[in-house]
Amino acid sequence: MNSTVVTFPDGHVTGRSEIVGVVPVGARHGLVVAETPFHPLDHTWPDQPADLGTLGGLPVVDCVTGAWADQEGLRLGPDIPVRRGADGWEWLVVHVTETPLPVGETVDLVVDAGHRAALSAGHTACHLAALALNAALAGHWRKEAARDGLGHPDFDQAAITSSRITPDGSVDVYRLGKSLRKKGFPGDDLDLDRVAADANERLAAWVAAGAPVRIDVPGRWLTARRTWHCALPEGEVSIPCGGTHVARTSELGSVTVALSREDATLTMRTTVTR
């Protein structure tokens, strides 16, 4: 099996392709096609959930990343022992179904467009929220730090421990502790209500601006290193990203964040109201 060609970076939600492999996924079946519009869960940074839909009329109940090497065979999801794009491996989108279909059959692939749209809104909002949080926390740094695309100290990249995209939202968890204090962010005197209000004011302006969003797609394969771009009023910003997104910030309707803290953990919950 060759690496899967993917069309979801261009916004596609339908396609037609040949089944090139069928593999076991527990008691279910993993169908691999030559080209797919389905976005799989990424094994390296599993932030955006998998697309749902149908393949050959069968419900796709999950969609995962697979990797194949001659000496290793097929590995799925968290069992993949290398980072995406490692030499010597073929990278596959594995569509999980309850029923198998024969290799060589040409099938229609249909993504649940409503589910995709909600995840795309959540993912774009997640990036915007991270940038707004960076700006709101800029005055709390006591040392020089790496900057984000808008020139603010990049708290998001310095402190993030997990990020999960949800339909029309996201949940991001940050670690506040000794390592971050050494980098110059004490984090002891945060007024979370004020920080959230600052971020939300910025988010409202960005949504109202209708800033265009695009994905730079350097190749057709699943392993291509894609980049999210957004032309915000303060300037264009780019973030490496393999997910799906809206075309303009105005499609989000409104984006708000809420912050909570427990011990040395800061959690940001982002909500989109379309």
Amino acid 11: pLDDT = 95
**Residue whose token pair is 């502790």:** 177
The rounded percent of the chain whose pLDDT value lies above 90 is 93
pLDDT at residue 245 in the model? 98
Q: Residue 20 pLDDT > 90, yes or no?
A: yes
Nearest residue to 157 (alpha-carbon basis) of 237, 262, 65, 40:
237
The pLDDT, as a whole number, for residue 2 is 86
CA–CA separation, 214 and 249 (whole Å)? 11
Token pair for residue 90?
Answer: 């073929």
- Residue-wise pLDDT for 216-241, tens only, equals 999 999 999 999 999 999 999 999 99
pLDDT value of residue 84: 83
Band (142; pLDDT cuts 50, 70, 90): very high
| CA 250 to the chain's CA centroid | 20
Render the burial of 87-110: b for 16+ CB within 10 Å, e for the rest.
eebbbbbbbbbeeebeeeeebebb
Residue 85: its pLDDT value, please? 82
What pLDDT, on the 0 to 100 scale, is given for residue 39?
98
